[in-house]
Amino acid sequence: MTVRILTTIILFFYTLSVAANIQLDDHIFSPDKGVICDQKAGFCVDSYGISMAFTKEFLGQAAQDKMMNMINDVGTKNFDTSRYSLSNKVYCDSAQKACFTDRYQEQRQDTYSQILFN
């Protein structure tokens, strides 16, 4: 019985890591392995952080331009693309290779972490 449950869990996470177009939340989806996009926040991320290339590919040129303007307004030295919060408050830190339920919580968000960092 426990072997069957363990096998099911392993298959679930394997499918999650290779599947495309997974809807994670109202405005958040994974269009490809290792990528999460947030339509509401206007950016896409990979294991390194906010990705301008994936933002353009999956959300369009206007989303990329808006993100670039935001980065330029703050200054590239002051904008850390490796740490970010999504519109549903999930916080990810590429250096830690982990996502959390909230920026101020230590509880891991395993689904997002699995997609981005495994």
Each domain of the chain, given as residue ranges in start order, spans: 2-117
CB atoms closer than 10 angstroms to residue 45: 26
pLDDT, one tens digit per residue, over 80-94 is 999 999 999 999 999
Residue 48: predicted pLDDT: 98
- Tens digits of residue pLDDT in 5-35: 544 444 455 554 445 689 999 999 999 999 9
**pLDDT given for residue 11 in this prediction:** 45
Q: What is the average per-residue pLDDT within 94-117? A: 95
> Residue 21 has what pLDDT?
85
Whole-Å CA distances, 69 to 34, 66, 79? 25, 5, 12
Per-residue confidence (pLDDT) for residue 2, from 0 to 100: 62
| Mean pLDDT value across residues 93-98 | 97
User: Is there a contact between 81 and 50 (Cβ–Cβ < 8 Å)?
Assistant: yes
The answer, yes or no, to whether residue 53 has pLDDT greater than 50, is yes
**Over pLDDT 70: what percentage of the chain?**
83
CA dist 20 and 7 (Å) reads: 21
